[in-house]
């Protein structure tokens, strides 16, 4: 039995801030004063009392010191392809494919990567589905059985829970945005994370074309 499997990818990006049920702080500083000032000829935002401000560089680093640099964080997320064709599957023989997620940000705190699916992989009959893999992102497990799962194959500071080759551990895509990888610290260029998809089906699975939409989100850590 053969099935053609597609995954369609979306990728927004956001900046994070300190927050709770009662407050939200986009960025903060300990100083003695500062405010927004304006006149007919200028507009100024300033902070008083910061001991170190400005841009510092050397051969090995670049730093932006001061409160106002914190408010201008840039962030981009690029995925190598909007669609992944996993190909035809023979039940009992898992197939896989990779996506490379490239994040570029000047955030000193790094970034989080989140993922979700819109639904289970669904046949063109709009009824028949392929189950999600059995393990959650919080506790990935070695590949056994059937379903659609993913792992973090490579990246900066990949969490131990995802395992290593040839013993990667896999998890199901959740229906709600969930952090699956956290990168800490500043990177001077694009930082790449490779996600691997894996899918297998039982012999009783209906033949045909199945598809799904996976959404990736990058959130900068201020």
Q: Which of 172, 178, 168 is nearest to 132 (CA)?
A: 172
- Would you state the pLDDT for residue 210? 93
Residue 186's pLDDT band (cuts 50, 70, 90): confident
Q: For residues 60 and 135, which has the higher predicted lDDT (pLDDT)?
A: 135
Checking 137-140 for CB contacts under 8 A at 24+ apart, the result is 137/171, 137/172, 137/174, 137/178, 137/179, 137/180, 139/171, 140/169, 140/170, 140/171
Model pTM score: 0.74
- Would you state the pLDDT for residue 37? 66
pLDDT tens across 71-112, in order? 556 788 999 999 999 889 889 999 999 999 999 988 878 999
Class assignment of domain 3-12+74-220? mainly beta
Can you give the residue ranges of every domain in the chain? 3-12+74-220, 28-70
């Amino acid at each position: 039995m053969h099935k053609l499997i597609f995954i369609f990818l979306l990728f927004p990006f956001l900046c994070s801030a300190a927050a709770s049920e009662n407050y939200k702080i986009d960025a903060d500083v300990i100083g003695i004063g500062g405010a927004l000032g304006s006149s007919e000829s200028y507009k100024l935002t300033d902070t008083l009392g910061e001991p170190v401000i400005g841009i510092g560089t050397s051969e090995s680093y670049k730093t932006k010191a001061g409160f106002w640099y914190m408010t201008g964080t840039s962030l981009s997320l690029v995925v190598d392809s909007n669609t992944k064709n996993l190909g035809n599957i023979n039940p009992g023989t898992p197939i896989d494919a990779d996506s490379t997620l490239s994040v570029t940000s000047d955030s000193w705190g790094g970034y989080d990567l989140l993922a979700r699916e819109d639904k289970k992989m669904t046949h063109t009959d709009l009824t028949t589905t392929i189950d999600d893999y059995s393990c959650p992102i919080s506790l990935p497990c070695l590949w056994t059985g059937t379903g659609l799962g993913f792992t973090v194959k490579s990246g900066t500071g990949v969490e131990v829970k995802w395992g290593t080759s040839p013993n990667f551990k896999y998890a199901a895509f959740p229906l709600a945005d969930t952090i699956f990888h956290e990168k800490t610290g500043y990177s001077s260029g694009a930082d790449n994370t490779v996600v691997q998809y894996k899918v297998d089906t039982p012999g009783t699975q209906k033949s045909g074309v199945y598809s799904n939409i996976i959404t990736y989100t990058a959130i900068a850590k201020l």
